[in-house]
């Protein structure tokens, strides 16, 4: 099932770095300090330290070839170290990353720079986590396309859909925060952002698909 790991869940991940390893459809939502602490914790374990070293070599080679890479390379290292756990790294630009290994390594990523609020209030991360849970559920339950047409029963947690869910939640939260700040200014609180989710969703997504 889709899982969002935020707040104390991220603290637990720092204490037990392998707790979520290989948990597909799981998304970690760290801010910059949380991501740094998680990377440090993974670096203390031999297995994950070696995986991050291999990933760093791959990134160096990709950069030398001129391949476009996300700004948050730490998110890439953490995703690969945890064997396919997705990472939504929060910051001035949010970075959505999912690395999958196997016969060939696949890096799926996107960055969200949608305008948000100039003031980040406490609890905004909770809005993002809740929105992400909704988008992941939609991605999980949406029909998948195959050669025979639309399969309305099977779920399809593809890397592209998971990254799209992360981007959708990020865009929604940022837009709601912008709308809330336009009304409440520096007194904006989380309930103000919640009150703008409907307007933000309509602005971003409704009536966009034929």
pLDDT along the chain (210 residues), means of 10: 94 94 93 97 96 96 96 96 96 96 86 94 95 94 62 63 96 98 96 97 80
Domain assignment present for residue 13? The answer is yes
pLDDT tens for 107-151 read 999 999 999 999 889 899 999 999 999 999 999 888 765 555 544
Residue 21: which domain range?
Answer: 3-204
Domain assignment present for residue 209? The answer is no
Domain assignment present for residue 173? The answer is yes
Domain assignment present for residue 28? The answer is yes
Q: How far apart are CA 139 and CA 131, in angstroms?
A: 12
Q: How far apart are CA 24 and CA 191, in angstroms?
A: 32
Q: How far apart are CA 45 and CA 10, in angstroms?
A: 17
Q: What is the pLDDT of residue 142?
A: 80
Q: How far apart are CA 27 and CA 38, in angstroms?
A: 14
Could you give phi then psi for residue 17, rounded to 5 degrees?
A: -60, -25
92: domain CATH number is 3.40.1190
Cβ–Cβ contacts within 10 Å for residue 120, how many? 14
* C-alpha closest to that of 14 among 78, 71, 69, 96: 78
* C-alpha closest to that of 126 among 178, 197, 42: 197
Q: What is the pLDDT of residue 154?
A: 44
Q: How far apart are CA 165 and CA 133, in angstroms?
A: 9
Tokens of 78: 């953490």
Pairing of strands 144-146, 106-112: unpaired
Domain assignment present for residue 104? The answer is yes
Bridge partners for 97 per DSSP: 87, 109
Domain assignment present for residue 210? The answer is no
Q: pTM score, two decimals? A: 0.91
pLDDT tens for 124-135 read 999 999 999 999
Tokens of 65: 């070839």
Q: How far apart are CA 135 and CA 120, in angstroms?
A: 22
User: How many domains does the structure of the chain reveal?
Assistant: 1
Domain assignment present for residue 45? The answer is yes
Q: Which residue has the tokens 């948990």?
A: 23
Domain assignment present for residue 192? The answer is yes
């Amino acid at each position: 099932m889709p899982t969002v790991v935020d707040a104390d869940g991220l603290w637990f991940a720092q204490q037990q770095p392998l707790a979520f390893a290989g948990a597909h459809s799981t998304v970690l939502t760290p801010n910059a300090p949380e991501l740094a602490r998680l990377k440090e914790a993974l670096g203390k374990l031999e297995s994950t330290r070696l995986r991050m070293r291999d990933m760093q070599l791959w990134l160096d080679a990709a950069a030398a070839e001129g391949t476009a890479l996300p700004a948050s390379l730490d998110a890439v290292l953490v995703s690969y170290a945890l064997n396919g756990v997705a990472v939504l790294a929060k910051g001035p630009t949010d970075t959505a990353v999912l690395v999958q290994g196997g016969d060939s390594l696949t890096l799926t990523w996107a960055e969200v720079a949608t305008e948000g609020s100039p003031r980040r209030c406490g609890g905004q991360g909770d809005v993002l986590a809740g929105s992400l849970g909704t988008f992941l559920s939609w991605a999980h339950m949406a029909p998948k396309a195959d050669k025979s047409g639309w399969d309305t029963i099977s779920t399809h947690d593809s890397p592209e859909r998971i990254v799209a869910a992360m981007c959708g939640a990020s865009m929604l939260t940022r837009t709601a925060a912008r709308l809330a700040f336009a009304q409440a200014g520096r007194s904006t609180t989380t309930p103000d952002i919640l009150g703008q989710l409907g307007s933000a969703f309509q602005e971003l997504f409704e009536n966009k698909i034929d």
